[in-house]
């Protein structure tokens, strides 16, 4: 009985498909054009003023079923009176960071890096598919105007702004793109720039990071050792020294003053020794120290202190 039932069903289906479709409501017509249902999978006829829609064979009308839309796949032919839907293209590129879409305009799958900051440029860190060096900042992307600051606005480390306020032809060192910066260490002074000759003035004239050092390090320091000359006699106190430029006021390159509080005492000058020994004297030597001496005993001379603190040997009267 079951076999007879199945066979009966198949026979009924085949019988129905072999005859024109009859709808619940009849469509009346004057000509075949009145019966066009825009379905490529039916044959439309007008028979005795009534429209008849007959199924086309399965697999037929492949070109007619194609809707020309790329992103919904290529449609198959007819089957049971309808076009078989196509399978959309698989646009998944298996890259986690990309957004995968189907472009109907270009009729291809597109794979785009994320653009979190909405500046129109994808994140460069997404498999190199984008070119935005900072996808969290909408003011940083290729082609953006580079200004003088510490940021790389145009995502090009070779550019860092062009501020040159002193007009010396060198960009302000405050203009940077990451670690690449301008080379003018003082953009308010036109005499300070990388090709300026270094002079001894307490300033880094050539912007090499060294003050008062010969350019390119040739020749060493431009400063010389100086000693404080408090009394202005041209001889400095040997106890203290400074590296200074030549001609620094209040200093001397000679550090051999035996008494820097008395301008009359310097190397070669004599002062009187101990009062208990009037013939003793002390002579200021070339190294800034006193050496013990005495007046000429043959003349019975003794030392007499002068108003300026120096001493002279005078012969004893009588």
Q: What is the mean pLDDT of each run of 10 residues along the chain (318 residues)?
A: 37 40 67 87 89 89 87 88 90 92 91 94 93 95 93 93 95 93 96 94 93 72 93 96 92 96 97 92 96 90 95 86
For residue 302, the enclosing domain spans: 227-315
Q: Which pLDDT belongs to residue 317?
A: 77
Beta bridge partners of 305: 311
Q: How far apart are the first and last CA of the chain?
A: 175
pTM above threshold 0.85: no
Beta bridge partners of 315: 301
Q: Which pLDDT belongs to residue 215?
A: 67
Q: Determine contact, residues 271/281, Cβ cutoff 8 Å.
A: yes
End residue of a domain, out of 88, 105, 123 = 88
End residue of a domain, out of 69, 88, 107 = 88
Q: Determine contact, residues 196/170, Cβ cutoff 8 Å.
A: no
Domain count, the chain: 2
Q: How does strand 280-284 pair with strand 270-272?
A: antiparallel
**236 domain residue, yes or no:** yes
The tokens for 297 are: 């005993």
**242 domain residue, yes or no:** yes
End residue of a domain, out of 88, 108, 129 = 88
Q: Which pLDDT belongs to residue 15?
A: 38
């Amino acid at each position: 009985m079951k076999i007879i039932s199945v066979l009966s069903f198949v026979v009924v289906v085949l019988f129905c498909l072999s005859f024109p479709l009859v709808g619940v409501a009849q469509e009346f017509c004057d000509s075949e054009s009145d019966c066009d249902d825009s379905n490529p999978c039916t044959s439309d006829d007008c028979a005795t003023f009534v429209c008849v829609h007959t199924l086309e064979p399965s697999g037929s009308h492949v070109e007619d079923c194609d809707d020309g839309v790329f992103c919904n796949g290529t449609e198959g032919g007819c089957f049971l009176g309808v076009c078989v839907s196509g399978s959309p293209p698989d646009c998944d590129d298996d890259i986690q960071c990309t957004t995968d879409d189907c472009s109907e305009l270009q009729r291809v799958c597109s794979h785009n890096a994320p653009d979190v900051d909405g500046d129109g440029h994808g994140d460069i860190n997404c498999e190199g598919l984008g070119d935005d060096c900072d996808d969290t900042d909408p003011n940083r992307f290729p082609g953006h105007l580079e200004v003088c600051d510490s940021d790389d606005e145009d995502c090009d480390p070779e550019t860092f702004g062009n501020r040159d306020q002193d007009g010396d032809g060198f960009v302000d060192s405050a203009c940077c793109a990451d670690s690449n910066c301008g080379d003018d260490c003082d953009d308010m002074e036109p005499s300070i720039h990388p090709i300026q000759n270094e002079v001894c003035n307490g300033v880094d004239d050539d912007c090499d990071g060294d003050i008062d050092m010969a350019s390119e390090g040739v020749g060493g320091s431009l400063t010389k050792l100086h000693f404080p000359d408090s009394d202005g006699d041209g001889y400095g106190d040997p106890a203290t020294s400074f590296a200074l430029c030549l001609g620094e006021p209040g200093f001397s390159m000679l550090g051999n003053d035996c008494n820097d509080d008395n301008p009359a005492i310097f190397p070669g000058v004599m002062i009187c020794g101990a009062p208990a020994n009037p013939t003793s004297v002390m002579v200021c030597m070339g190294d800034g120290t006193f050496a013990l001496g005495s007046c000429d005993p043959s003349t019975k001379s003794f030392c007499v202190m002068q108003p300026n603190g120096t001493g002279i040997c005078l012969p004893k009267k009588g």
